Structure 1
Amino acid sequence: MLFMKPSTNFSSFFISSNLYMGYCLLFLTIFLVFPPASSLSSLEYIYPNFTASEFQHIDSSGVFLSSRNGTFAAAIFNPGALKTNFYLCIIHMASNAIIWSANRDTPISSSGIMNLTTKGITVSDQYGNLRWSTPPLQSSVYALLLTEMGNLVLLDHSNSSLWESFHYPTDTIVIGQHLPVGMYLSSAASDYNLSSSIYNFTISTSDALLQWYGQTYWKLSMDTKAFIISNYVVKYMAINRTGLFLLGHDASEIFIQVSLPPADFRIGKLGPLGRFTVQSFSDAQWEQEFSGPDSSCRTPSICGQMGLCTDNSPSITPICSCPSGFQAGSQNMSGCVPSDDSQSLPLACNSTNNGSQLNSSIVSFLGLGYGIDYFSNDFSQPLKYGVNLTVCQDLCSGDCSCLGIFYGNSSGSCYMLENELGSFTSRNSGGMNLLGYIKVSGSNTTTNDNGPPPNSSSNHKKRLRVVVLVLLLSTSILLLVALGLLIWMRWKLSKTKEIKLGGFNSQSSEDLDAFYIPGLPKRFDYEELEVATDKFSTQIGSGGFGSVYKGTLSDKSVVAIKKITNLGIQGRKEFCTEIAVIGNVHHVNLVRLKGFCVHGRQRLLVYEYMNHGSLDRTLFGSGPVLEWQERFDVALGSARGLAYLHSGCEHKIIHCDVKPENILLDDHLQAKISDFGLSKLLSPEQSGLFTTMRGTRGYLAPEWLTTSAISEKTDVYSFGMVLLELVSGRKNCSLQSQSHSIEDSDSGGGHFLSSSRSGLVYYPLFALEMHEQGKYLELVDPRLEGRVTREEVEKLVHVALCCLYEEPALRPNMISVVGMLEGGIPLGQPRTESLNFLRFYGCRFTEASTIMDPNGSLSYPQANSLQTGFSYISSQQISGPR
């Protein structure tokens, strides 16, 4: 039996069967000279015994099997221009993309052959040597099938599957294919050399990981586009028309979701440079939809061994250089080597040294200096805690697998760089407080001056001299001991008095050195912050947590320093534990905590500085108006930040104070949420604001009025209020100017002022009424002057109203909010019956919140004088503006 598919894109090839060899040759000649007017367009099956080879056609490939609709083809294919390495491949015909290859690590020449027998598939070279085969099968093969999903399947006589290519992925996964726990994708050496390379994409029971020589350098759960839906145990990963998913036993058990635009053909691929990308193909072109890591500099060997990578955004290609004290290697070597020719990078444990300890007399360390980071620091735990630099370096010197260290000055953490050295990255000012040292061997034991002087084995002689000196001075030991005892007793007495006078909060900050908390950010000296702020002379904000000052650190980075008052946490260790949790929360839409300071009774937090300040100043101020797209980007960024706090980080964090004052904007107007996690630091008096509030003037959810539990849905409500303010460009409870005039309404909340005068307006009720009437453009900030469509406003109003439901359980979670804003999840239709409470709020607000004095000016009554059940607490009383 002979099957052949003529094509203008792929040449003829040699196909034969042992039984019908003569007929095959005759048919082949006829097909070459007189191609049939109507050929078989879909050859899904071939049968044993079958042989295929790329046959004397340098510019084409040997196709021997097609899926039913011709979407995929199986071929003996060479992806390069030189036509030297041929592979048994499955190809997506429209894009010419290889989605699977059998003999990727054992290519054949153009004379190699593929055989299908009753025992399975084999690939042999021109000499008949076996290069690849399917594993032993349970029964005899009846047919080979290529499905329309791109799966190559061996079938028995009952059409049961004996073997599938989907179960043996290479570097690509397609729609309909599962990547189970324990399975992995392995990168190709290049686009033209399909052999397995150094990067793996693997699935664990709780995440998807990228690894380099077994070292993790990226996790799906840490990506800004990935949302943790539940706590199911992961069984497999899959992609479909709408996204990428980590799933449990079935498709209903979603653990992590990445929402993507709808697409009919999509692949996930681990590229040769170590990045996992998801791409869709339509209209004859590829579109990249997702990438991890998002920066090329976060891949381990982008600049070769010891290379220094600087992300040259928005350029795709990063800048590679060498750290100080290193230079580019020879042309045949990728990466950097010590500038001093007498020094070299030692090899890790191998058969030569057999894992023995290196000669300590020739080992030294080169400091990398400040501002340099390494990928493994974010994904590994220190080998030792609370040690000094000398101990850390001694541990590395005596271990042949150790090639360098990173050391934390403030924490005493000792990280090892083992077995393989990759590239380093230029760290921004928000990085970990670590200094790197690379182990070198050679006669020169000096180090550079980019960091604290490292230890070297040459100190051994110095220690011997110290021992001799101590022996010579042994007669003075008793005197020294007595003097030390006296000093200690006086110190102990003074500390006892200090504790009695001031409690634990007045102890010396040195007490922090008595314990170590993993993940604690950098600890600053109070004097350093005094210098940075010019003795706290530039105040940029204040509120219930304290005052905020602008400062410039010694490395020229600008920071915002918050002095916290009214602390509820009494012990330093408890305080530091909470700070460690906050400091380990990293997201592009969250303000980064750079460090902290404990000085006597004072607690200070050091944050990255946001040049454009808080959203309220930009949105409600008199400066340039925020355009609609900028407002939408702020809404989406804030939603992503809150979704990460609720679902993406290790410890769920409920913000409790979402409002424009706590949404900060950077140079590019990217939104970042601030003050998350600080509610635990309030004193009992201050935290009472969160437990005894009744009603709201701004952003607090209805559950504050009841005994209902406060949950992440409380933040969802507050976010809905912020969305409405983004639409209107003014406070939800504010004076109504004539440009925002509203006619009296009969829809249940008819307490708005008419266009003939100005007054207080409860904007959420107005938004509900305009939604009911379909008049969405009535809600828009008039300063936008028509630069927004009805559909764009309707989208944000729908999302906002769904967030404002009175019942917390009916509100969407923030992951769903992000999905609705991005378009991956259909918009919810607001349920009027769950929003009727806004009519009561609007009525009571206009009755109880305004008092017009005889001169016509507006004043506000005190909360305790109202008989309405509201205590209109200003949002600034909680944490204040930034």
Structure 2
Amino acid sequence: MALPYLLLCSSMLLLLVGSNWKAAARTVPVEYLYPPYNLTYFSFVDTNGVFLRSPNATFSAAVYGTSDDTQTRFFFSILHDVSRTPVWTATAGATLLMQSVLLSLTTSGLALTDPYDHSATWSTPAALAAPVTALRLLDTGELALLDAANGTLWSSFHDPTDTLLHGHALPVGVPLTAAVSDHNLSPGAYRLILTATDALLQWQTSTNGSFVTYWALSSDAASVQQSNRTVHSMMVNASGIYLLADNDIDTVFTLLFTDSSTSNKLLKVDPSGRLRALSMASSRTAARATLPTVWAAPVSDCDLPLPCGSLGLCTPVNNASSCKCPGAFSTHTTGGCSPADGSALPVPAQTCLANNASSPSSEKAAPYSYMSLGDDVGYFGSKFAVPVTADDALPACRDLCSANCSCVGFLYKNSSGSCFLLHDQIGSVVRATTDVAAGFIKTLQPPPSSPGHGESSALSSITIIFGIVLPTLAAVVITFLLYVLAVQWLKKRRGGLDGGKKKKKKKKKHGRHGRGSSWFMMMSLSSSRASSNASSEKGGDSEEDDDEDDEILIPGLPARFTFADLEKATKGFKSEIGSGGFGSVYRGELPDRTTVAVKRMNNLGSQGRREFLTEIAVIGNVHHVNLVKLRGICADQSRQLILVYEFMSRGSLDQSLFLSRSSTGANKKNVLLEWSERLGVCVGAARGLAYLHAGCDRKILHCDVKPENILLDDRGGVKIADFGLAKLLSPEQSGLFTTMRGTRGYLAPEWLTNAPVTDKADVYSFGMVLLEIVRGSKNSRLLQQQQPDEEDTGSTSSDGRCGGSNYFPAVALEVHEEGGRRYVELVDPRLEGRANAAEVARVVRVALCCLHEDASLRPAMTAVAAMLDGSMEVCEPRKEQLAYLRIYGRGTVAGGASSSWSAPSCVSAQQLSAPR
């Protein structure tokens, strides 16, 4: 009897415990949780981690556990209750331990607490507007802290993670960041970000915040553009995705799902980097099924950054893909591919750090070589990237990568000559049949392997001593002896030639023109001035000092000329080819028969010297086919400041562009520019500016872009010149505040409002230049007094009048607003219709985009160059960003017309900087 009685008692006890567990499971709070409330592992061990449900049990708040082969992680998450799909996660990567107090709700907010030191690993903002009275979970998936009046103090919608829920508007600039994996909900490398014009999927390639775009909603085949307004927010519902305009009425883009169900949808960026729309329709009696995907982008695996690991070759196969390594690469043990010859891939962060730590005297180029990925490859990142150069040779593209420590490879398209640099981290490449490129990866040769440790040390010492040190010392001694003998011979020769008299002139020198350091240049100039001053103070001859100074050569500097050299080259500075407030430019001929342009600075004040040094610092360090070359400098004891440039036979653009009818053809050099030549000028000048902005180690702002500073030659060469007002930005600078610099008629609005000035100021000036190239005259007739006989046959607008003359940018805007059918009417009437209508439309639209009042909405110069040469689609000018042109044209700003900036509307030819 004892045994059956014991079994009965045990059964009743189990039933009682089971009923208590079920009762506990049924007592999960619904919608509200009130402080103070401490949640521990034992509080919800029998509720699968759930501690709060929404009213209809659509969503639940839980401590969510995930497991993989290595460990189990726990996260505080909001889940779609039936599918257990996380839609929001509170932690920033910390793994929770299921011990002690995990989650606490107080009147100060919600916090996750470390069980060991009781410090908060995550919490809601510390300074809430009022005490917390409740935690609320809605059927929309929103978790919110409420005050006594049910006002929201904090919401999970304010800080989304990887999911956009129905009814939640995602604002511009707030990202959805994918999780590392399905088992690790910490933030990963992929994100969806909303901009003022589009929604983009991006891959973070470095820890410093560099992102590469690989999908845009506007480029999706299912998207439809409905408005040109600025994007304000993004929403998803049962039917599709919507980018809403800033007026809360219009829709900028719509993307409709093919799924016809009326169930709500959510958008999630998954760990692979794909954006998915998931249907929330599911049966509550069904097992924990994954939410079905109704739409995904990008469609092809090969359009993702890492479908085959780093450097893996992805080949599309029907609706799937296959992976292998390119021919010269082999599978790496950690995934992806690596060079089969054992060479190493450089680590950009370490390489840049090493380069920055190097002194100029000891800095040496890294022993880079390049390994080919093949000639028929594509890369996900190049679809939305702007090439750093276009219509250039492959070696130039390679040199740009070699000069950039963060560059790990490059793509070169033979069809367009476009160059794309790959920075920081390389994704997979794809086998392509269209838009193909040649891919090259930067590699470092591994150090040679050595024998045993002891043998290696001894062998290395012997090799160093007998193979390197002794031959080097011998070479140095021999060179020194030869040098001494040569000096003695020269001195004897001089003594014979001069009859024992002291020399009164320095020996002429012509150094090599090459890449140099602006710091060395300025130090050289300063030392030159100091030595001349010291000589004059001594009052005696300084033959010995001068001779020693002549022996000083700083590698990389332009040639150093004496004043006498250039006086002879220019025949006494008689052949003047240009002049301005800075001084004059003369044509000269060097002893090697090279024709040069000699720029003699007349303004010797502090501003003149500053512009002189700026010009050397900028143009002496950059080399591009569309930037004028600095052949040499002169800064001798006579305090003459002279720059020597390559000679451009057709002079500046304004001389060929702003010709009156009577002068056309009068000067053979200044013949009328045909349309094809004008388009070439547009493209060449854009590429030169793009190089200054994006191709140099330091971003350079020209600050005075105008036709007078664009030079031409008889062979179609186009070069940007005059860098006296240029500004060099350090890597950490994005903008600058500075005194106004530039020329009226080309000044961007931000110069006049004390707003931060960036490279977009050059973009604005270039937009003005583009319109002048199209029309063949100054944008405001009052700015060009030398064209009294030019007839105005272009469109007129009462809104575009400026003191009785048409303000051409306002006329161009009016033509654009009419649908662009009359673009060709804007062309210089002297061309008599000899212009390609499609090319004219392209140039005018690009120019208007450059003139957007908001600098952030202007395209970068790299994009401008790509749009002008046809390798990139032209952006759509935003009419609301160009309305100020009418006010500028009417000349009513000073009269109180509303505008976000104020400028003199109708101005004379007087400039803020002198003519250049």
TM-score (norm 1): 0.47
